[in-house]
Amino acid sequence: MARNLYSNQRHPLVNVSKHQRSRCHNRNNLQRQSQQGGFVARHPLFNVFNNQRNNDEVICEKDKTIKEVDGPIQSIYNDDHGNDEVIFEEDTNEDEYMFFGEDSVSGLWVTMREYYCYKFHTRPNIFNPILHGGRLFQQFAVDTYIKIESSRLDYMWHHQNKIRADLYQGLLDNIQAGEQNGDAVGKRKSFPLPDIDKQHETTDDIPMVIIEETSIEVDPEDVSSHKNLNNEQRKAYDEILATVDRQRGGILFVDGPGGTGKTFLYMALLATVRGQGKIAVATATSGVAASIMPGGRTAHSRFKIPLKIDNGAICSFTKQSGTAKLLQSITNNLG
Ligand SMILES: Nc1ncnc2c1ncn2[C@@H]1O[C@H](COP(=O)(O)OP(=O)(O)OP(=O)(O)O)[C@@H](O)[C@H]1O
């Protein structure tokens, strides 16, 4: 019974047919029970509640009250106004009780959560002692939460089959559909791929990668930064630009301790070359380093370098690819 009382599930507490309903006149009995426990609250909407046989709570609806009792419930009760529409009967088979009225709104069950929601409600002109309990109220609220949560977990623990059945219902539906339409089972359904939009791939036969590189905005501050180069930077700057102007290619290696101005030099070079309308591809071995430079990319990304380098490894782009055309167009590659 306690299991049902605290469960968050709706339970049919008792089955009482119409003809079994009796009009209740046992006012004395209810008063006696009420005296044992005392009045808790009044509310016109409350109409159903359950109870354990030998202790604690009896809820009565039509008299608009909830009453707590200490003793066992022995028989049919009525409200303390003698209202004959309230019925409470014992179901000897289920060993549980039910209260309901003929104008019952919410049906024959309330969940534990609903019950405690009701208890915590503030109602105009009705004093609810629970809400004025201070620390006791806090303790009550915590206890209530624990009860409800325990009940929920308890339900899940004891209803695994039902829960799993719900969870896998979609799977069962599919299996059943397969049984009814067997020829579709195991067959792959192919959806057509969308047409490739080549609009952005090239513009007037100029590869997109070249358009991207030539569209990099040059920061005016970087353009003028070459004026601030120190002697060593200036030396490297002049040497590199002379190599570019000769158009004969070459490999130059700039090195120096951290913070000595290598990146500053690169920025000045990139700005100068790009400012002349030429292509300078900025690459680095790491994404972080590449992100410092305008238009910077990792070398692996830009040149399609395979991650695994072994004998015969080559960059994975063709002669006709945009990357190949970009490399042919490069004036200066900084990396
Ligand atoms: N000629 C310069 N004039 C003014 N500031 C400079 C100059 N050279 C470098 N700096 C400044 O010095 C700082 C370090 O320079 P930078 O980041 O280029 O060094 P780095 O050699 O690239 O460092 P790291 O190797 O750690 O990446 C930056 O704030 C940069 O602006």
Which contiguous run of DSSP H or E holds residue 309? none
Ligand 1 site residues, Cβ closer than 6 angstroms:
228-230, 233, 256, 258-264
Q: How far from 279 is each of 209, 219, 229, CA to CA, in Å?
A: 11, 15, 22
SS3 label, residue 284: strand
SS3 label, residue 274: helix
The pLDDT of residue 180 is 66
Question: What are phi and psi for residue 240, nearest 5 degrees?
Answer: -65, -45
Joined together, the tokens standing for residue 266 give 């690169």
Q: Which of 226, 264, 265, 267 to mutate to test the pocket of ligand 1 (most atoms within 8 A of CB)?
A: 264
* Torsion sign over Cα 231, 233, 234, 239: positive
Q: Where are the domains of the chain?
A: 2-163, 201-334
CA angle 131, 135, 141 (to 5 degrees): 60
SS3 label, residue 12: coil
CA 13 – CA 110 distance, rounded (Å): 10
* Torsion sign over Cα 169, 170, 171, 174: positive
The pLDDT of residue 306 is 81
The pLDDT of residue 167 is 66
The pLDDT of residue 85 is 32
Distance 263 CA to ligand 1 centre (A): 6
CA angle 25, 30, 32 (to 5 degrees): 130
In this structure, which residue's CA is closest to atom 15 in ligand 1?
Answer: 261
Question: pLDDT digit of tens for each residue in the chain (335 aa)?
Answer: 333 333 333 333 332 333 333 333 333 333 333 222 222 222 332 333 434 333 334 444 444 344 443 333 322 333 444 333 333 333 333 333 333 333 344 456 677 777 888 888 888 888 888 888 888 888 989 999 998 888 888 888 888 887 777 666 677 777 777 666 666 656 666 677 776 665 555 556 777 888 888 888 888 888 898 899 999 999 999 999 888 888 777 888 888 888 899 889 999 999 998 888 888 888 888 888 888 888 888 888 888 888 777 777 777 777 778 788 888 777 655 55
Q: Which of 224, 232, 263 to mutate to test the pocket of ligand 1 (most atoms within 8 A of CB)?
A: 263
The pLDDT of residue 15 is 29
CA angle 228, 281, 253 (to 5 degrees): 65
The pLDDT of residue 188 is 65
* Torsion sign over Cα 253, 259, 263, 267: negative
The pLDDT of residue 67 is 44
ipTM, two decimals: 0.96
DSSP string, 32-97: HHHHHH-EEEE-SS---B--BTTBSEEE--TTSEEEE-SS---S----TT--TTEEEEEETTTTEE
Which contiguous run of DSSP H or E holds residue 280? strand 279-284
In this structure, which residue's CA is closest to atom 24 in ligand 1?
Answer: 258
Q: Would you tell me the crossing angle of helices 169-180 and 160-167 to the nearest 10 degrees?
A: 50
CA angle 195, 204, 245 (to 5 degrees): 130
